[in-house]
Amino acid sequence: MSEPGSGPLAGMLVLDFSRALAGPHAAMIMGDLGARVIKVEVPGRGDDSRGWGPPFIGRENAAERVATYFLAANRNKESIALDLKDAADRAVFEALLPKADVLVESFRPGVLDRLGLAPETLLAHHPRLVVLSITGFGHDGPDAHRPGYDQIAQGETGLMSLTGSGPDAPQRIGVPICDLTAGLNGATGVLAALLERTRTGRGQIVRTSLLAAGVSLHAFQGTRWTVGAELGRASGNHHPTIAPYGLFACKDGAVQIAVGSEALWRRLSDGFGLPGDDPRFDRNAHRVAHREELARLIEAAFTDRTKAELLDELDRLGVPAGAVRTLDEVYAWDQVASQRLVVTVDHPAAGPITLPGPAVRFFDADGSERTRIHHTPPPGLDQDRPLVLAECGGRGREDGPSGRPG
The verdict on whether omega for the bond into residue 54 sits within 30 degrees of 0, i.e. cis, is: yes
pLDDT at 190 over 80: yes
Helix 291-302 crosses helix 262-272 at what angle (to 10 degrees)?
40
Q: Above pLDDT 70, what percent of the chain?
A: 94
Distance between CA atoms of 287 and 243, rounded to whole angstroms? 6
pLDDT at 406 over 70: no
Section 283-287 average pLDDT:
97
- The CATH classification number of 13-217+342-392 equals 3.40.50.10540
pLDDT at 367 over 60: yes
Domains in the chain: boundaries: 13-217+342-392, 260-319
237-270 pLDDT per residue, tens: 999 999 999 999 999 999 999 999 999 999 999 9
pLDDT at 193 over 90: yes
Total-model pTM: 0.91
92-109 pLDDT per residue, tens: 999 999 999 999 999 888
DSSP per position, 166-187: STT-----SS-HHHHHHHHHHH
Q: Which amino acid does the sequence have at 233?
A: R
CB 75 within 8 A of CB 345: yes
Section 160-173 average pLDDT:
94
Section 347-370 average pLDDT:
90
296-325 pLDDT per residue, tens: 999 999 999 999 999 999 999 999 999 999
| Residues carrying an active site annotation | 179
214-228 pLDDT per residue, tens: 999 999 999 999 999
